[in-house]
């Protein structure tokens, strides 16, 4: 399927942690309007004003937090939001419960309606707080409480895939449960997992994913069928078309030499220099480049603007069948054993974890720990600041 116009218009973006938090707080997707984000950030950054005459400085504001230890992301979310709240609301008195505690479960039921965890439930005393005016826009009635809208996503009553428990007690555990059909832990297991990563060779975020992948390629080597594929259009000019083409041919000729080339190219973007670091049959390479060009009309498509996608982006069709098969919309797109993993992290450890889920019998290397820090988008192997979120894409 061809990407939609609005998707392309979105261009390249990256989401910093401040914006992410703001986005969480207004419970929306990452495609918020700039004004919405600014408003939410501003609201969070406001310090609590001085207590008013209607509020005793010493009055405690009770906040119940209900989380779930089965939820991988919940604790992190609480850790992000709680300090922000403490800086805004004076005299916050916090009690934290797990959904499995009787008190936690009771609060969950009493608050009614709000299905997802973590839940932040204020006692109505929050209304007398000086910060209420700022917070009110994020609060919803929830039984006798006021629930902070943070975009929680964990449903404690649903099946959790991969914990060995029939969570929703419908007789089907984990991958047997239809709720887990599209979960990445339930993908088909293969003797040799197949990884297909779709990129544009000059897309900073595709480069970021490729850099995260290299240590995993080193570790697992031939135990995995590694494939770098190319999105069916280019956004970074003619240079990108020819770099894609070069990488395509290098892979056809020798994968391990290709990855050696890639570790050089992702560092300095110097094709020629990096080609010189590998011992490759230049004649064979040149004939592959010629054949690929005529087979997939690469130069012809660059020249013929009438074929451009949305009138702006030249087509690049070497992997068009796979692009169509997976509905690839942009760079990077990570596919494991034929399933697109929308949530794929870009640090080596996250990639290792996903790839290892694809094995029938995971090898010993799967219990190794690689770095959990993602590299920066774009060329060069420096790490992204911790806490930054790798969510940008080209497409
Ligand atoms: Ca389960
Ligand atoms: Ca179940």
Q: Mind listing the pLDDT tens digit for each residue in 306-354?
A: 999 999 999 999 999 999 999 999 999 999 999 999 889 999 999 999 9
pLDDT of residue 74: 93
* Percentage, residues of the chain above pLDDT 90: 75
The mean of the pLDDT values for the chain is 86
Number of domains in the chain: 2
Q: And the tokens for 119?
A: 């839940």
CB 90 within 8 A of CB 48: yes
Ligand 1: centre distance to CA 83 (Å): 32
8 occurs within a structural domain: no
pLDDT of residue 163: 86
Task: Assess whether pLDDT exceeds 60 at residue 40.
Answer: no
CB 130 within 8 A of CB 50: yes
Task: Assess whether pLDDT exceeds 50 at residue 16.
Answer: no
Q: Which distant-in-sequence residues (6+ apart) come within 8 Å of 293 by Cβ?
A: 245, 299
Task: Assess whether pLDDT exceeds 60 at residue 10.
Answer: no
Report how far Cα 10 is from the mean position of its chain's Cα atoms: 17
Beta strand residue intervals within 68-212, DSSP E: 92-98, 119-122, 139-142, 145-148, 194-199
Which among 129, 148, 167 is the end of a domain? 148
Total H helices, total E strands in the chain: 14, 9
Between 45 and 231, the higher pLDDT residue: 231
pLDDT of residue 18: 36
The number of the ligand nearest the C-alpha atom of 186 reads: 1
Euclidean distance between CA atoms 63 and 60, whole angstroms: 9
389 occurs within a structural domain: no
The number of the ligand nearest the C-alpha atom of 164 reads: 1
Range of lowest pLDDT (40-54, 59-73, 87-101, 377-391): 40-54
Is 209 found in the same domain as 139?
no
Is 354 found in the same domain as 239?
yes
Is 141 found in the same domain as 219?
no
Is 203 found in the same domain as 136?
no
Ligand 1: centre distance to CA 169 (Å): 9
Ligand 2: centre distance to CA 143 (Å): 28
**CATH number of the structural domain spanning residue 27:** 3.40.30
Ligand 2: centre distance to CA 71 (Å): 16
pLDDT of residue 389: 62
Ligand 2: centre distance to CA 96 (Å): 27
Is 215 found in the same domain as 347?
yes
Is 324 found in the same domain as 212?
yes
Element (H, E) at 351: helix 348-357
Task: Assess whether pLDDT exceeds 50 at residue 19.
Answer: no
Ligand 2: centre distance to CA 166 (Å): 4
Which residues lie at CB < 5 A from ion ligand 2? 159, 166, 168, 170, 172, 177
Q: And the tokens for 170?
A: 């419908």
Count of beta carbons in the 10 Å neighbourhood of residue 267: 13
Ligand 2: centre distance to CA 150 (Å): 27
DSSP, res 67? E
161 occurs within a structural domain: no
In angstroms, the Cα distances linking 102 to 65, 107, 109, 152, 166 are 14, 9, 11, 21, 20
380 occurs within a structural domain: no
Range of lowest pLDDT (19-23, 102-106, 134-138): 19-23
235 occurs within a structural domain: yes
Range of the domain at 274: 187-367
Is 349 found in the same domain as 219?
yes
CB 370 within 8 A of CB 348: yes
Ligand 2: centre distance to CA 187 (Å): 17
Is 294 found in the same domain as 230?
yes
Task: Assess whether pLDDT exceeds 70 at residue 27.
Answer: no
């Amino acid at each position: 399927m061809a990407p939609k116009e609005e998707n392309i218009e979105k261009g390249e973006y990256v989401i910093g942690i401040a914006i992410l938090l703001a986005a969480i707080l207004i419970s929306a997707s990452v495609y918020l309007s700039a004004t919405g984000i600014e408003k939410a950030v501003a609201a969070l950054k406001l310090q609590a004003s001085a207590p008013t005459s209607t509020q005793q400085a010493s009055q405690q504001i009770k906040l119940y937090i209900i989380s779930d230890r089965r939820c991988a992301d919940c604790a992190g979310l609480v850790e992000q939001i709680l300090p922000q709240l403490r800086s805004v609301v004076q005299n916050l008195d916090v009690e934290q419960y797990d959904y499995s505690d009787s008190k936690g479960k009771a609060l969950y039921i009493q608050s009614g309606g709000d299905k997802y965890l973590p839940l932040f439930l204020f006692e109505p005393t929050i209304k007398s707080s000086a910060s209420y005016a700022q917070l009110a826009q994020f609060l919803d009635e929830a039984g006798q409480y006021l629930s902070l809208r943070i975009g929680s996503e964990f449903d404690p009553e649903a099946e959790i895939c991969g914990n060995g428990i029939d969570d929703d007690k419908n007789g089907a555990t984990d991958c047997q449960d239809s709720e887990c059909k599209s979960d990445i832990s339930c993908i088909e297991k293969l003797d040799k997992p197949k990884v297909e990563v779709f990129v544009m060779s000059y897309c900073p975020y595709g480069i970021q994913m490729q850099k995260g992948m290299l240590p995993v390629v080193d570790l697992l080597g031939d135990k995995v069928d590694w494939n770098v594929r190319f999105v069916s259009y280019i956004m970074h000019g003619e240079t990108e078309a020819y770099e894609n083409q070069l990488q395509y041919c290098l892979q056809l000729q020798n994968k391990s030499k290709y990855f050696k080339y890639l570790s050089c190219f992702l560092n300095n973007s110097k094709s020629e220099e990096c080609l010189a670091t590998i011992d490759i049959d230049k004649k064979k390479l040149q004939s592959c480049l010629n054949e690929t060009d005529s087979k997939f009309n690469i130069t012809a498509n660059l020249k013929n603007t009438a074929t451009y996608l949305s009138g702006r982006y030249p087509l690049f069709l070497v992997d068009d069948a796979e692009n169509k098969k997976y509905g690839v919309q942009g760079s990077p797109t990570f596919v494991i054993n034929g399933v697109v993993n929308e949530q794929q992290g870009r640090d080596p450890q996250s990639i290792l974890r996903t790839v290892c889920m694809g094995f029938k019998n995971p090898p010993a290397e799967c219990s190794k720990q690689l770095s959990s820090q993602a590299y920066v988008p774009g060329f060069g192997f420096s790490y992204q600041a911790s806490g930054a979120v790798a969510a940008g894409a080209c497409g």
